[in-house]
């Protein structure tokens, strides 16, 4: 009959540390990938918006806002696309821009102008 092997605690600790480091690497890679996708979606969303393709712009810009909620410019353009579709959510996005961005930011001023112009719109 074979005698059971004794557990080598050094191996267990080393394996745990390596798995932990692997998890950190996967997390870092995932975050970098999402950031790159968000940037590409932002560019695509602006392109669709400029062509009047509001549904596609909303789709792309929602991805950006979902993964980078503090990206004020994405919220601004998402609000513009929503406004063009007649959706009241546009004002919610623009109000978030005013909260996120300092008054010195150009998107802050653009957003104030959009909100003022949309005051007549219900």
For residue 112, the model assigns a pLDDT of: 94
Which percentage of the chain shows pLDDT scores above 90? Answer: 64
pLDDT, mean of residues 48-55 = 97
Q: Which domains, ranges and CATH numbers included, belong to the chain?
A: 38-120 (1.25.40.10)
State the maximum Cα–Cα separation within the chain, in Å, rounded to a whole number. 87
- Give the sign of the dihedral formed by CA 96, CA 38, CA 86, CA 108: positive
The mean per-residue pLDDT over the stretch 30-44 comes to 86
Query: Measured on CA atoms in the order 21, 26, 30, 36, is the torsion positive or negative?
Result: positive
pLDDT category, 30, cuts 50, 70, 90? confident
Tokens 């745990």 locate to 16
Phi-psi region of 86 (alpha: psi -120 to 50; beta: other; left: phi over 0): left
Count CB neighbours of 12 within 10 A. 10
DSSP letters, 47-106, are HHHHTT-HHHHHHHHHHHHHH-TT-HHHHHHHHHHHHHTT-THHHHHHHHHHHHS-TTSH
**Greater model confidence, 38 or 65:** 65
Q: How confident is the model at residue 102 (pLDDT cuts 50, 70, 90)?
A: very high
Residue 91's pLDDT band, with cuts at 50, 70 and 90, is very high
């Amino acid at each position: 009959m074979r005698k059971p092997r004794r557990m080598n605690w050094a191996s267990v600790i080393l394996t745990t540390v390596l798995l932990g480091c692997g998890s950190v690497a996967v997390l870092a890679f995932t975050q970098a990938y999402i950031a790159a996708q968000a940037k590409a979606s932002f560019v695509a969303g602006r392109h669709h918006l400029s062509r009047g393709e509001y549904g596609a712009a909303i789709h792309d810009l929602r991805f950006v806002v979902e993964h980078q909620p503090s990206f004020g410019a994405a919220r601004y353009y998402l609000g513009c696309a929503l406004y063009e579709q007649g959706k009241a959510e546009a004002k919610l996005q623009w109000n978030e821009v005013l909260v996120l961005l300092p008054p010195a930011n150009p998107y802050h001023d653009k957003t104030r102008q959009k909100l003022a112009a949309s005051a007549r719109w219900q």
